[in-house]
Amino acid sequence: MYQDQALDLEKQFTAALKSIARRSDLKSYVEQTPQLNRILRHAAARFVTGEARQDGLDAGQKLIAKGYAISLEYIGENTTDASECEAAVKEMMTLIDDFGQKGTPARVSFDLSHIGLSLDTELAFSNLMKLAEQAQRAGVELFISMEESSKTGQILSVYKRAASIYPNVGITLQAQLKRTPQDLAMLASPCRVRIVKGAYQESDDRSIPRSPALNERYVELVESSIRQGHFVSIATHDEQIIKTLLDQGLTGSNIEFEMLYGIRPDLSSRLKAAGHPVRIYLTYGQEWYLYLCHRIAEYPPNLFQAVIDLVSNEEIEPVQSYN
């Protein structure tokens, strides 16, 4: 009985935090209240490298030096102002150039709704093409994140058009969506695909909640991606799923493990030490508030750590936790 109540509370907590993340009034309050902004930014340092591009590049270089591959995201989504979309594209172009000039083997990840999808599909497509062209020249990989299910069809169709011209563009699929096995089957082979569980709250008719059934679906999606000849990023921190896949003898040059910066560095370190390719997904930017809420919502014990961080003056440097 008590356990049921606790689970129910956890679900409500997750939903509340996800809606807090979307409340523009709360976000403005955080942005405009210096003291609050400072302490929350301190807590966000567990998951976000900093506000500036250089913060992401510096943390990324340290991880590369330790033998990890990296993804870097300039945080942002649901941008409804055309000039902000343009500014985001400019920022990503500079990031791609930085990687290209230093010869850093990296992946740039982003939401299509950060570069125009919330305004016009064609704007998102043309911005994606600009990024893909530049990335191809710089030897950089681009990865499109997956957003709410209301956008899945649009995102996939923009991705497919771009990937038919630029093979350096990859796509993220969410195991939690019931439609995903069909979406996966419709991708041209071979391509670059990242399998995640899914971070968005979706209705029961469209999605599978966190459960053994979802974990089974996740494993099946990875297996069928490999069968289809795709390069697969296994993007989960779920140790049981990873164990199941490794027990099946999953190895080779067409897979990698990918985990979010600051989450389960112990697991990333162990996988790397065992000789598996591991990529760490880093973020930077001013929109860290949204990202912090998401990371706490998907794993409520993070709230305890966040509260400890709020009152601590200790410098937080997650890179040090990676061996």
Residues that bind ligand FDA (CB under 6 A): 145-146, 172, 174, 196-200, 210, 235-238, 258-260, 263-264, 281, 295, 298-299, 302
Burial class (CB in 10 A: 0-12, 13-18, 19+), 71: buried
For the CB of residue 268, give the shortest distance to ligand FDA in the complex, in Å: 10
Of 97 and 267, CB closest to ligand FDA: 267
Nearest to 172 by CA among 265, 71, 246, 56: 71
Q: How far is the CB of 294 from ligand FDA (least distance, A)?
A: 8
Residue 178 near residue 204 (C-beta atoms within 8 A): no
Between 6 and 82, whose beta carbon lies closer to ligand FDA?
A: 6
81 dihedral zone (left: phi>0; alpha: psi -120 to 50; beta)? beta
The nearest distance, CB 175 to ligand FDA, in angstroms, is 8
Minimum distance of ligand FDA from residue 238's CB (angstroms): 4
- Minimum CB distance to ligand FDA smaller for 33 or for 211: 211
- Minimum distance between the CB of residue 306 and ligand FDA, rounded to whole angstroms? 10
Where are the strands (E) in 182-292, listed by range? Answer: 192-196, 231-234, 255-260, 278-284
**Taking the mean position of all CA atoms in its chain, how far away is CA 72?**
9
19 CB-near residues (< 8 Å, 6+ apart): none
Q: Cβ atoms within 10 A of the Cβ of 64, count?
A: 16
Spatial distance between the Cα atoms of 27 and 308, rounded to a whole number of angstroms: 21
Looking at the Cβ atoms of 35 and 45, the one nearer to ligand FDA is 45
What is the nearest approach in angstroms of ligand FDA to the Cβ of residue 207?
11
Place of tokens 């709250």: 201
Q: Which is nearer to ligand FDA, 137 or 206 (CB)?
A: 206
**Distance (Å, rounded) from C-alpha 42 to C-alpha 36?**
10
User: What six digits make up the tokens of 95?
Assistant: 């990031």
CB of 56 to ligand FDA, least distance (A): 14
> Closer to ligand FDA at the Cβ: 180 or 236?
236
> Quick one: 66 or 210, whose CB is closer to ligand FDA?
210
Least distance (Å) between residue 33 CB and ligand FDA: 25
| Smallest distance, ligand FDA to C-beta of residue 68, A | 12
Which phi and psi (to 5°) does residue 59 adopt?
-65, -40
Is the backbone peptide bond immediately before 105 cis, with ω within 30 degrees of 0? no
User: Nearest residue to ligand FDA, using CB?
Assistant: 145
Three-state DSSP state, 223 = helix
> CA-CA distance, 199 to 173, in Å (whole number)?
11
The string of DSSP codes covering 37-54 is HHHHHHHHTTT---SSHH
Nearer Cβ to ligand FDA (97/264)? 264
